[in-house]
Chain A
C-alpha cells in the first residue's frame, strides 16, 4: 500500500506537430484521497486526464516524455482498456453519456470491461446506485433525454460500474445549478469514503478545494502551484483567480 494510486512523472504532451499542451508535469494522487487539478480554460487539464486514461490518441495527441503509473505499475503505453481493467475509471468532460442507450444500458456498458456474471453485475449496479439514488427511477429512459445533472450522475455512475480504485472526474460541476453542484460534491465525498482515490478537475475551485486534500494549479501546460488544499484555499492569488474573491478582500481576511 505504499505506492500512490496515481503518479505522473515529468509528463509532456503534444498535439499534432506544433502545439505542446503539457510540459514536465509531476502529479500524485495518494490512496483514498481527493486531489484536485485547477486551472483556466485551455490550461491542459483535460489533456492530462487523457494522458492518464490513454485517450490522447483519439484527439491526435502524443506523450513526448514522462511516465504514468497506476497503483505502482507503469501504464504509460497501455491501451485504455488495460488501464480500466487495472482499476482506472473516468467521467469525461461534458458527461458524454451514450445518448441513444437507456440509463440501464449506459451503466451496463460501464461494466463491460469486467465481464461480470449476472450476480456480479447486479452487485456492481447496486453499489453504483447507492451513491446515485436519483438514477433508480430513470433506468429505462434514453440517456439523451436526461437533464444535465442527471447526465452527470449517470456519467459518474457509469464510471463506477467497473468498480475503480482510481476515479478521474473532469469538471463534474460544469454547467450545473448550485444546488446540483452541492449534490455532486456530496456524491464525490461519498465515493471517496468508500476508499476510491479521486483526481478531480475543476474550475469551480471553491467546491473542489472544499473536499480535496491536495491541489495542483495548471497554467499553460505547466504546474504553477501545488500544495495542501487548505493552503491553496487561503492563498491570495488563487483566491483572486479562481475563487471569485479579489486579492485585497482575501488579504483582509488574512490579516
Chain B
C-alpha cells in the first residue's frame, strides 16, 4: 500500500487544513456519506486537464479544453455532480514529455481524475505515474496504442477507425471493383505516432475489394518539404490519398501536390484538419474530405444545441471550432463517470475506475452512444465523412457508419 501513501498524505494534509479536519487515511467520507478521494471535498471535485496550452498544437488543444470547461460550467449551473462543483485543474503540457511530467507531478495530488490528457507524447510520459497513482485518465490520443494502457480510456472512436472507414467510403464512391481497382495511397509520420494509422489503412485496403494500395510514403517530424513524398504518390498514380498527418503537414502535402500538378482525392482523419488551413489552402479543397468520429457545430442534434448554449453563456467571445465539440464530448464522458461514481457513493480514484468500467456515455446525437467496456477496446467504430466549408468548418456528407473493414481490423488487433 506504499504506492497510495504519497497522494494520500498530501490530501490528508489538505483536508486537515480545510473544515473537515479528516484523518490521514486513503479516503474520507463526506457529510453526505460519499467516500472522497484526492481532489474531492464536500463542495468540489477537481478534474485535471493536461493539455497543450502553449505548445505546437495549442490552438486545437485550447479549443478542446474550452469545450470541456463549458460542459462543466453547464453541469455546475445545474447543481454539479453529487452536489459538488466540477473544477478544472488546467496544466500546460506544451505537448512535450518533460513538461507533461512536471505538470502531472505538480497537480496530481489535487486531482481525482484526469478529464483529458492530450497526445501520445504526453500520455507516454505520465503512463507509469498514472498506473502507480491509480489515476483514472481519459486520453485524447485517438491512437490505438493508447488503449491498452492501464487506467487510460479513450471515449471516442480512434483516428484509425476514421481512416479505415474513409477507405471504405472512397471505394464505394469510386465504384471500385477488382476489374477497375481504386489506387490508394497513404502518408503518415514515419514513427510510432504514424505507424498505427498506416497499419489501419493497409488493413482496410486489403479488406476492401477493389482497393489497391500503391504507395505509403512517410515523413519525419519537423520535415519542411514534401516534394519527395508527393512525387512518390504521384508516380504511383494514387487516385485517393489518406492523410494520417498533423495539420501543418496536411498543408505541406496538399499544397505541394497542387504545385506538382497532382490532385487526388484527399481523405483526412479529424486530427489532420483544422479550420485555419482553409485560408492557405484556398482553392485546393474541392476534393478534400475529413472522416470524423464525431459531429460538427452545424449538426441539428440536442448535444450540439446544448454545446452552443453553453458556449454562448460561458464563452461568448470564443471563435467557433470543431475541437470544442471534441472537448465537450470528453466533458460528457467525465461527467458520466463522476455521476456513476457518485451513485456508487465512491468518489475515490478506485471508485471512478469502477464507474468507467462498462460505462455507457450518451453523446446526445453528436456521435452514437459508446460503451467504454473494459477500457482496452475501441468504444465505437462509427464515423462520418465531411467536406470543408468556406471558413474551414466541417460540413457533413451522409451519416455515421461503421465499416466492416474497420471492425475487422479492430478485431484482428485485439480491440
Direct touch of chains A and B (CB < 8 A): no
